[in-house]
Amino acid sequence: MMKLTGYSLPASSTPIYLNILKKHSIFSSNIFQRNPTKSRGPSTYTQKDQVLADAVMVAGQYLPPWFSVAPMMDWTDNHYRTLARLISKHAWLYTEMLAAETIVYQKDNLDRFLAYSPEQHPIVLQIGGNNLENLAKATELANPYHYDEINFNCGCPSPKVAGHGCFGARLMLDPKFVGEAMSVIAANTDVPVSVKCRIGVDDHDSYNELCDFIYKVSSLSPTRHFIIHSRKAMLNGISPAENRSIPPLKYEYFYGLLRDFPDLRFTINGGINCVDEVNAARRAGAHGVMVGRAAYHNPWQVLGHVDSVIYGAPSSGITRRQILEKYQVYGDSVLGKYGIKPHVRDVVKPLLHLFYSEPGNGLWKRKADAAFQNCKWLPTEACEISLPIQETAWMR
């Protein structure tokens, strides 16, 4: 046996989930199969990357999700995704989590929640919920918006979600339901489906229990892609922010899954903050890497290197001044689109980190704040987006 951070993982090549199979009866094969895996991988990828590329069903026009930006509540909204896409053409973007009930109950106002510009492709819709009927309806209602993948949230530790809402990370305790939910979601869409989860919940945090979850979900549904946040979720006693730092990272669980489930695809998430670490994880075998707050708080340094360093694409050469000019056009087009929303500060929020940790960052934030201090609600002639973008070295 090989000891890893207090846990015993088999060092042999025998998949650990074979031990789990001895404890369970054969799972039902009565699942919806409207969403078979399709192979459309471009032949230009290396042999190592071809396994992932073959599984990507995106009409051949997008590169595989080797790098993605994590779904983050109140952060990865339309405004941030617009900025992110101006910086990187190939990073996969995720929406904020949308509750299935929100989509169903707002069916006459869906643009406010689901609409996005075509430039945001490739983009993944993340939904959450614990009601199969609403998950089916929400997926069907989202179809006209042509997302490239539907992701199911099994990792959020927020008390509003995992507590009173009884979904998010809490669903890892009921893999049978998650398998049924993924079957229902897959049956109502023609795009791939995936699950984002933690490595465990509270005291249910052994590697065997994680394998049990992965095995049951993948056996009961067409799910072949799992995004693994390599920390467990603690649902009692700590906040969502503390859940991103207090539970230790256990990357050995993730790499164990790569070995023990060779027919599935796994994206690693948690504690990865720069493109060098992304490439290191991919060299270690990760099919994809998801970055969260680092991509939000430091978008230029993180996203600005994704296309060239991770995807091998030529650098666009775009400057931050040009990004701001393009973003200004976007901002002017969306102010007050839904009554008093979005207002100026909603639109400007993602820009405040564009010069993170660089000389002049404080000056940028002060000038941006001063430019919008009189702009609270509706777009008027006195409240146009006039960004302080005079030419200085730190704007490049």
For the annotated catalytic residues, the residue numbers are: 156
Q: Which residues contact 342 (CB under 8 A, 6 or more apart)?
A: 79, 334, 335, 336
- Residue 236 half-sphere exposure toward CB, CA atoms < 13 A: 2
Structure-token match 């910086």, residue found: 87
In degrees rounded to 5, what are phi and psi of residue 380?
-130, 175
Structure tokens at 262: 């060779």
Q: Please say whether the beta carbons of 45 and 239 come within 8 A.
A: no
The DSSP secondary structure of 122-174, one letter per residue, reads SEEEEEE-S-HHHHHHHHHHHGGG--SEEEEEE----IIIIISS--GGGGGG-
Dig out the tokens for 295 from the structure.
Answer: 């991509």
Q: Are 63 and 311 in contact (CB under 8 A)?
A: yes
From 35, 70, 68, 38, select the one nearest 53 (Cα to Cα): 38
Q: How many CB atoms lie within 10 A of CB 144?
A: 8
CA distance 160 to 155: 13
Cα Rg, the chain, nearest whole Å: 21
Residue whose tokens read 């969260």: 292
Q: What would the two tokens of residue 221 be? A: 């549904």
**Alpha-carbon span 148 to 319, nearest angstrom:** 28
Q: What amino acid occupies position 197?
A: C
